[in-house]
Structure 1
């Protein structure tokens, strides 16, 4: 069986693979001894430059092209954020590595909250709701200590998925913001590479994403379709056992993931532990 489990081409959900790069923050710090800087609380009055997103790369799951956006593109940061807002508003599902705790919160902040150190004041409407798939959360939940290396680059190298060819360079981002064309191109390609790697990891982890958002196949809600990849499932002859109820269980003929049918469950017991 192939390591990568692709979506059924008939799936109609708009699935966006996304990655961002940021410029670091700069703050004023007064200190008598280096130990004074340990766990120092940062007051906003001391901030010279707040961290902000400067590059976003993304691709629709079914497309080959990686879209590249940066705050130094024509139109400046305002146009950059409007394009990102339009992109995210078109997605049903957004996928990324650590997307729930990093990329999405960072972008939401960028879309609605002014960043200290930059003159642009965003004024964008709220985004419509969307689902997320965080491949880092999948690794932590399903494998725990069984997968000691959970970084995107490490996982892709271990699994044999095309991975990063560069490393993030904070000084390079400072130069890019200041106008270095070479550093802008380098960091944008680095970000685009992460998008491709994330899609590969998504396809590799697909059978393990038990809470994958529901997929519509040709616009229809099919009860027997795999919730992970949209292909057909077949009966297993086994039942999924909950505390009191049991459910008929099916297996995907493509990715091998298991699903349960939540209609007509059978009651196994009237006794529940207290």
Structure 2
């Protein structure tokens, strides 16, 4: 089966009602004052607040809704400046039930939450935005790490190349970002397209990984059997002869007819023992 056919078989059911947002960000680096006598003085140097000239900040956010082909491109040099940029990002994230990204939980989300609520040293804008409503996240880097040494390279670009998913066509350049923030239109457009490419790559990786995400947030589908749909893709599940064995109970197992993911049926478990090890 070709890669396109494999990914198509793993796509989310079109009847799913959750709003799933694929997201990626780009940032400009921070700048600090550093006094030193020898080069080794700079090793593991603690950065004091008083020495910061400019904090890192998010300058580009690209995203797409899972069920749409349109790439949403937002940047701080759009009309309205950084204030309008952050308002647009806040509105976008507020509309999502699930946000998907690579290294999302340790990078993109905390970075964005810092940008949405705290002023950044080196930029005059002072944000004043309300708290975001709760949403669930799917971090494809965390999924890759579950394979441990089974997959040695876990960056977005490496995983996409290994799996033959369309990946990065460019690379991040710190100097290019400096020029973009200074108003260079060519560098601005190139960085935005680089970020947009990562969004497309992330969705491909998400589709490939999803059958392996046993704790994927629940997907809601209307209908008679909505309680037994696949929690990964929202498709129909079928009973299997296997049972999920816990310490004391066992559960009926279901298998998705689309992505092939397994789930357990949490009603009417069978008790296997009254004895627990201590």
- With normalisation by structure 2, the TM-score equals 0.96
Specify which of 3, 6, 19 is matched with residue 3 of structure 1: 6
Structure 1 residue aligned with 2:76: 71
Structure 2 residue aligned with 1:82: 87
Structure 2 residue aligned with 1:185: 189
1:147 and 2:151 are equivalent in the alignment? yes
Superposition map of 1:1-274 within 5 A:
2-4=5-7, 5-141=10-146, 143-218=147-222, 222-274=226-278
- Tell me which stretches of 4 or more aligned residues in structure 1 moved more than 2 Å: 218-221
Q: 1:267 Cα deviation (Å)?
A: 1.1
Q: Which whole-Å deviations, capped at 9, do the CAs of 1:152-203 have from their partners, x for residues lacking one?
A: 0111111111111000001100000011101000000000000000000000
Q: 1:3 Cα deviation (Å)?
A: 2.7
- Asked whether the 8 Å contact 1:78–1:122 carries over to 2, the reply is yes
- Asked whether the 8 Å contact 1:114–1:121 carries over to 2, the reply is yes
- Asked whether the 8 Å contact 1:100–1:132 carries over to 2, the reply is yes
Q: 1:218 Cα deviation (Å)?
A: 3.4
Note the residue ranges of structure 2 that are not aligned, 5 or more in a row: none
- Asked whether the 8 Å contact 1:11–1:219 carries over to 2, the reply is no
Measure, in 2, the Cα distance between the counterparts of 1:19 and 1:119: 24
- Asked whether the 8 Å contact 1:8–1:231 carries over to 2, the reply is yes
Q: Which whole-Å deviations, capped at 9, do the CAs of 1:18-50 have from their partners, x for residues lacking one?
A: 000000000001111111111111011100000
- Asked whether the 8 Å contact 1:22–1:55 carries over to 2, the reply is yes
- Asked whether the 8 Å contact 1:12–1:219 carries over to 2, the reply is no
Q: Structure 1 residues 219, 94: CA separation in 2 closer, same or farther (over 3 Å shift)?
A: farther
Q: 1:223 Cα deviation (Å)?
A: 1.7
Q: 1:220 Cα deviation (Å)?
A: 8.1
Question: For 1:164, what is the secondary structure of its paired residue?
Answer: coil
- With normalisation by structure 1, the TM-score equals 0.98
